[in-house]
Amino acid sequence: MISRLFRYLTAQMSTLPTKKPIISIVGTTGVGKSQFSIELAKKINGEVINADSMQVYKGVDVIANKHPMQERDGIPHHIMDHVDWSEEYFIHRFNKEAHHAIEDIHLRGKVPIIVGGTHYYLQSLLFNNKTLEKKKERELTEAELGLLDGPTDILFQELKRIDPLVAEKFHPQDHRKLRRAVEIWYTTGQKPSDLYIEQKLDELEKSSLKYNTLVFWLYSEPQVLQDRLDKRVDKMMEIGAREEIDELYRYYAQNNGDSTSGIFQIIGFKEFLPWLENKKQNPEAFANGIDRMKIRTRQYAKYQVKWIQKTLQLELKKESKFNYVNGGRLFLLDATDLTHWKTNVCERAASKKDFQFSFMRATSSSIQKRQSSNPLNSALSTSSSSGTASSVKKKFEHSRQLSHSYRTRKVGSYQNTSKDTKITSNATGFEFLNDSPTKSKPQVIVNEKLSSSPRRHITQPIPGSSDVFQRLYTSKPKSNGMKPHANIPKPSNAEKVQTLAELYSILHRKDPMLFENTHYEAASDSMQTPLDVNTIALNSLNIYERGEILRKESLYYVPTTNERNINLKSYGNNFGFDDKEGNYIVIPNEHINYRFQILHSIGNGSFGNVILAKDHKFKRNNVVAIKIINNNFNSSIQSVNEIKMLKHMKGNQHENVLEFYEHFNFRSHICIVTEVLSLNLYSVLEITQFRGFSPDLVKQFAKQILNGLAYLHSLKIIHCDVKPENVMIKLPPHTQGKSIVVKLIDFGSSCFDDKMSFTYIQSRYYRAPEIILGANYDNKIDIWSLGCLMAELFTGSPLLAGKNEIDQIGLMLEIFGAPRSSTILKMRAKLTRSLLQSSKDMNLSLHRPNERQIKKTLLYKVFDLNGKINMSILNHYKSATNSTKKQFKLNSKNLEVCLGTGSSGLTSSKLFLSFLRRAFIWDPNDRASVSELLQDEFLK
């Protein structure tokens, strides 16, 4: 076993891939995989191997969606159009043909590109079966069989004699596990604990990938994809699908075909059988066939996404144990907007394939060509070093130390653990992926030095890696179990902040730098001349950057010193650019994309980092904020949605919405460049010690937030996460300013009101009742959140600080009373209608829960058949989810008392109370709209 361990450690010392390279393109049908494969093949000298079980058949070019020959640009396509209709094509034949094609392509010095939607073909081609089978050395004797089937306590004593370590892990009454462990010893002569270690070493030592694989996933927003698929079916009918279906049916009828096998499984044949068997006399049957073909295509797309989620992603996740030496990374390419195909798909894919995978770096001629034509070539060659005897000796010594460290750790774990031994440790220097969910950090975009107290966490936690598809394609992201608001601020007895001047004075005392003027002007006449590559001092660049600048068209800023420790032979932590959580390591005065100079970090959270940076592309002192997204698949997905919203708003910028400049990809991190803002409203409350603001001061915030929401709603955008952390202010350059600028930020959870992909959104304290109840929603959820935010600005503390969903609803019932029965019945009816419509349309973006799941929502659980609240059931749920014995009592609280305005005779306080009541209405139809609140007497 020690020798196996040594082989493993020694193998890990070398990062050179031992497997041949391939590229695999996955995604749903109709997303553009074939087009992308051709464009990629032209760039990297590749050839395409088909992995679609229907495209192997001759003919049926239209309904099998074969890429037209004239559009293939001479790129060879293998395993396509070669099987007769009379044949059944099985997976073992595909594997044989595919492996032969891959070998042939490699022999000719090209890169195979595997493309196709038959995912079990891809799975069989890419991955080995890693099941470990131990051959029995002998059969069981009668005495042994008698003991195995005998009393559990005797079986446990036998296992303690054979293998005390395993016996310590198992429960003394777990007969099944005890029996299996003893049986292993009897039949193989090997201790179960040794076998367990063998299995773990096999998992560490052997990659499941057959090839050094780079995987691109082309995805499209489901609603957009559905429309695209429907139009594709209509076009197929126009360009020959009907004729192909006729021909296929003639062959089917003549040969008594089986519609469940072979070519007849193709989408577009069975759907038209009723029409064909009726001798094509019924136009309605033909129209129904088209509808069925569209529905089945959407269903197939849903199945393909599920395979990527449930199988491919999990298999590739295991490859992180090998630091991706054998490839295995999956990169998302956004193919939603075809007008940005080149930028979002082609250019991003090129950046990944050139420099993140060793097989793409090591294949030679293209790099030599770039180096020979670049003025840095000579300097680069002199700075390179080759392996020496001393370096080999150092590697061997390091391997010996790792082996010793591993043995020590293994012995310690045997002595101390009662659970399964896990052979993972950061001490080895290898990167292992933790399958358990990690705790998310709060999203904060403020200066870190402003806050001395722990920051509360109320944001919906970002789902773990395995949950990103839940966020994209299902209704409810899984929670990681974190409790929001670790420290809920209590209302202060001190006098409220009365005026803007007083607020500015408090903020200035805390940090005068907040009032620095941050200006940004990107006029074309103020652009700097790019740096001359010949003037760059190579000693200021690390080895990664020396290769990186070869690919840059323009350089505007290069630091004079280099403080990073980069190791190109280690894929762990992104060659050393990231920390262990995948966040980019921020070093002041370093560059971002050879254009922005890092000044300092101004915030961090579960999304990544936010930095203050100077833009050297322009002559003026332009300062920007750059949001550097965490280098993981999950965070990248969320940022795609935010960028989509920001770009949608960019053409007509609003003064109360964050100004977006651009986005780009830098060292595997998506970067979003925006204007610099001062701090968010939670930080303002924190600095003012949660005293709260006067009604007149709250009014100034309310107007601007409502103006921002009015702008969003006019674009049919729902913000979906209005809260203090997502509203920021921009302070004037001096404390004598008479006005304040308030802006909405963070559009990662936002959606279009006709493309609502999630049914569970908003941070809990600001969550609208229809979301908690599980009903349909619209942009009125932003109004409820606004009401909660305004109440918090007034008092300094959240109005509805529930510990869970039951708590949240209970607090609403205590303060606002019960909703009308008609409101609940109306919500139920609307939800049922949407469910039926969703089932009819097979809308991929909604995936509404089925009827059984709907009955589990609070909309049904805490209201009776007539729509009346059942307080006894609600309190029963409360006692089950909360340790406190306090019961909810309907109408037991008053909004005036909660806000502390009961004794106030001020007109402004009364108007503010009336304003809030228009926002806190159970029925969204009766709740005030943005335009109605802007006309409210309180804001005049």
Q: What is the dihedral of CA 651, 652, 658, 661, to 10 degrees?
A: 30
Q: Which of 604, 636, 890 is nearest to 748 (CA)?
A: 636
List, in order, residues 6 or more apart from 315 with CB less than 8 Å away.
123, 127, 208
Q: Give yes or no for a contact between 198 and 8, defined as CB atoms under 8 angstroms apart.
A: no
Q: How far is CA 222 from CA 328, 469, 503, 533, 638, in A?
A: 25, 12, 46, 44, 15
For the stretch 795-805, what's the b/e string if a residue is b when 16 or more beta carbons lie within 10 angstroms of its beta carbon? bbbbbbbbbeb
For the record, the structure tokens of 34 come out as 């074939």
CA 731 to chain centre: 34
Radius of gyration of the chain from its Cα atoms, rounded to whole angstroms:
32
Phi and psi angles of residue 614, each rounded to the nearest 5 degrees, phi first: -100, 130
Strand boundaries in 355-481, DSSP class E:
none
CA distances 67 to 34, 58, 176, 434, Å, are 6, 13, 54, 41
Cα–Cα dist 843/524, whole Å: 45
What is the C-alpha separation between 796 and 686, in angstroms, rounded? 9
- Ramachandran angles phi, psi of 222, nearest 5°: -55, -40
CA distance 746 to 18: 44
How far, CA to CA in Å, does 218 sit from each of 19, 26, 65, 644, 715? 25, 6, 17, 16, 27
Structure tokens at 451: 């806050």
- Which has the closest alpha carbon to 375: 263, 244, 219, 538? 538
Q: What is the DSSP annotation of 684-720?
A: HHHHTTT--B-HHHHHHHHHHHHHHHHHHHHTTEE--
**Strand bridging mode 111-115 / 741-744:** unpaired
Tokens, residue 302: 């849903």
- Cβ-Cβ contacts under 8 Å for 327 (sequence gap 6 or more): 17, 19, 21, 209, 211, 212, 213, 214, 215, 319, 357, 359
Residue 42, marked binder: no
The residue written with tokens 């010996």 in the block is 400
Task: Identify which of 434, 440, 435 has the alpha carbon closest to the alpha carbon of residue 480.
Answer: 440
Backbone angles phi, psi at 670, to 5 degrees: -75, 130
Query: Which residues are documented as binding site for ATP?
Result: 627
Query: Which residues are documented as binding site?
Result: 627
